[in-house]
Amino acid sequence: MSDLVPLVQAHCLPRRGVEHRLGEARVRELLPEVPGWELAENGRALTRTFRFDDYHRTMAFVNALAYIAHREDHHPDLGVHYDRCVVRYSTHDVGGLSENDFICAAKTDALAA
């Protein structure tokens, strides 16, 4: 992926195999591009909690996020609660973080903005 394209405008590509797993240096470079997201599971996942006023708003977010996941063919794990949704991205095909996780994190932020 070219760094000239903002993450939010980039699109996911099929990434399979450890060669697509991001190294620590690249993760450190990308993390400031998605403020609010944190590393979890020893750097193998990205998570952020999005808070809402009520269940209806939470579910509207979840449905919009499902559409992005379908369009990008990259799928978050979700913890859905009454007033919040815990979003977790990790690329199981690479066994850790790939560029796809950062692209989708940026698109998720745009949804909630």
> Is residue 14 a contact point for ligand H2B (CB under 6 A)?
yes
Q: What share of the chain is helix, strand, coil (3-state, %, to 5)?
A: 45, 20, 35
> Is residue 108 a contact point for ligand H2B (CB under 6 A)?
no
Q: Which residue, among 89, 93, 104, has the nearest Cα to 44 in the 3D structure?
A: 89
> Is residue 75 a contact point for ligand H2B (CB under 6 A)?
yes
Kindly give the residue spans of alpha helices, DSSP state H, lying in 5-89.
Answer: 24-30, 55-72
> Is residue 48 a contact point for ligand H2B (CB under 6 A)?
no
Q: Which amino acid is at 49?
A: T
> Is residue 91 a contact point for ligand H2B (CB under 6 A)?
yes
Binding range to ligand H2B, per CB under 6 A, among 30-38, 39-47, 50-58, 72-80: 72-80
- Any bridge partners for residue 46, and if so which? 39, 89
> Is residue 74 a contact point for ligand H2B (CB under 6 A)?
yes
Applying CB under 6 A, the residues found at the interface with ligand H2B are: 14, 73-75, 90-93
